[in-house]
Amino acid sequence: MRFAGKTVLVTGSAKGQGAEEVRRFAAEGASVVVADVLDDEGEAMAKGIGDAARYVHLDVTSEEDWTALVASLDALHVLVNNAGVLGPFTPLFKSDVGAFRRTLDINLVGTFLGHKHAGRKISQSGGGAIVNISSISGMWGTPYAAAYTASKWAIRGLTKAAAVELGRNGIRVNSVHPGGVKTDMTAAMGDDGSTDWYKRLPVPRIGTVDDIAGAVLFLASDEAAYITGSELVIDGGTLAGDLSLIPPAP
């Protein structure tokens, strides 16, 4: 029970990857806060977990929401900045500045506000860990997704700055960089993991929410006590090298 006696907050956790993370934290003894704007799904998620969970409405772009949530907590030991959006896939020349700003507001500013408010609570609680969900799009350029790519690169920088600054507060800060992961969000893009792209990977399949959750829990746990400012790529080998010469797996 790696998180017995700990309180864990996961943003964007009403469904998908965040939901798997809160389930895993609760199974390891944590009291979990399911935070999202999807109230019905979030309430159902917390109810399904049981007494170890509660749901709190949180728009990560709202400083008022962050202030109210943190004020309601007796203590906090782990923050997972999971909330995020892909934003529109649009050619750069046709991109709407409002949509660009909205994507950065959720993905980047929301993550910053988590550090500012939840991070202070973690410090007051004796220290702990922050895990930021970036992407392999924060390691390379994803065409037609300039806002998403820019936001995920920026999360890398924020992670480094926070790791250096908050170490004296007893807080470790790391980022996770998933490749393709099978969720409702990727399914809405038509990505079900069946393409030859995934068959060419060294691990020839799409990722699962369980793949990501396991890494998040490791970085949040005392097993990673000497790890901060690090980037953990979980992509089945996507970034390992030139995959164009590798035939698809049967």
pLDDT at position 5 is 96
| Residues 184-209 pLDDT 10s | 666 555 565 567 778 889 998 999 99
Q: Is residue 103 part of a domain?
A: yes
| Residue-number span of the structural domain to which 161 is assigned | 59-234
| Residues 133-152 pLDDT 10s | 999 999 999 999 999 999 99
226 catalytic residue (yes or no): no
Could you tell me which of 184, 183, 172 has the C-alpha nearest to residue 219? 172
Number of domains in the chain: 1
pLDDT at position 70 is 98
The confidence band for 235, taking pLDDT boundaries of 50, 70 and 90, is: very high
- Provide the mean pLDDT of the chain: 94
Which CATH number fits the domain that encloses residue 87? 3.40.50.720
Q: Is residue 147 part of a domain?
A: yes
For 134-151, give the DSSP string: --GGGTS--TT-HHHHHH
Q: Is residue 33 part of a domain?
A: no
- Separation between Cα atoms, residue 41 and residue 24, nearest integer Å: 17
Residue 129 has pLDDT above 70, yes or no: yes
Q: Is residue 126 part of a domain?
A: yes
Check 55, 144, 148, 198 and give the catalytic one: 148
Burial class, 140, CB count within 10 angstroms (exposed 0-12 / middle 13-18 / buried 19+): exposed
Instruction: Report helix angle 16-27 to 209-220, nearest 10.
Output: 50
Reported pTM: 0.94
Q: Is residue 208 part of a domain?
A: yes
Q: Is residue 178 part of a domain?
A: yes
Q: In what order do the strands lie in the sheet with 7-11?
A: 53-57, 31-36, 7-11, 78-81, 128-133, 171-178, 231-234
Q: Is residue 37 part of a domain?
A: no
The confidence band for 250, taking pLDDT boundaries of 50, 70 and 90, is: confident
Q: Is residue 75 part of a domain?
A: yes
The confidence band for 11, taking pLDDT boundaries of 50, 70 and 90, is: very high
